[in-house]
């Protein structure tokens, strides 16, 4: 079952007010922004399928705490950054011809 939720203008106003009154909640706003940037156009179902390709998620019994994957995520991010740097360097080399 798929369910899309939309926050109307009044809800956005209340959310801004909450963050203004309790700035610590801005942490969650920034996390959501990051998730949205990473998710792109993927639906929640597609994201869940991708998430469960990670062994720690797939093998964790329902209701149990999922082990941290921060080391894996940092490693993957480093690999992606390295690839982008190499692609950028390759483009600069080809542009010099």
Per-residue pLDDT tens for 11-58? 999 999 999 999 999 999 999 888 888 888 888 888 888 888 888 888
For Cα atoms 57, 44, 11, give the angle at the middle one, nearest 5 degrees. Answer: 120
In this predicted structure, what is the pLDDT of residue 67? 84
* Residues spanned by the domain of 81: 42-97
Are 19 and 61 found together in one domain? no
Q: Is the pLDDT of residue 95 over 60?
A: no
Average pLDDT over residues 69-75: 88
Are 46 and 86 found together in one domain? yes
In this predicted structure, what is the pLDDT of residue 93? 59
> Do 96 and 83 touch, CB atoms closer than 8 A?
no
In this predicted structure, what is the pLDDT of residue 3? 65
How many C-alpha atoms does 16 have within 13 Å on its Cβ side? Answer: 7
> Do 39 and 45 touch, CB atoms closer than 8 A?
no
Are 58 and 84 found together in one domain? yes
Average pLDDT score, the chain: 85
Are 17 and 53 found together in one domain? no
Are 28 and 58 found together in one domain? no
Are 48 and 92 found together in one domain? yes
Query: What's the predicted TM-score (pTM) here?
Result: 0.45
Pick 96 or 23 by higher pLDDT: 23
Are 33 and 49 found together in one domain? no
Residue 3 falls within a domain, yes or no? no
Nearest one of 45, 40, 16, 38 to 28, comparing CA atoms: 16
Distance CA 68, CA 74 (A): 11
Are 65 and 81 found together in one domain? yes
What is the percent of the chain with per-residue pLDDT over 90, rounded to a whole number?
31
Residue 56 falls within a domain, yes or no? yes
Are 17 and 63 found together in one domain? no
Dihedral angle computed from the Cα positions of residues 37, 45, 41 and 65, in that order, rounded to the nearest 10 degrees: 10
């Amino acid at each position: 079952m798929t369910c899309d939720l939309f926050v109307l203008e009044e809800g956005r106003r209340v959310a801004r007010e909450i963050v203004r009154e309790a700035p610590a909640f801005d942490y969650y706003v920034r996390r959501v922004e990051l998730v949205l940037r990473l998710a792109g156009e993927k639906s929640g179902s597609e994201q869940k399928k991708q998430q469960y390709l990670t062994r720690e998620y797939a093998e964790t019994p329902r209701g149990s705490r999922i082990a941290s994957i921060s080391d894996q995520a940092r490693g993957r991010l480093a690999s992606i950054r390295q690839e982008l740097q190499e692609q950028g360097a390759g483009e600069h080399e080809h542009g010099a011809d």
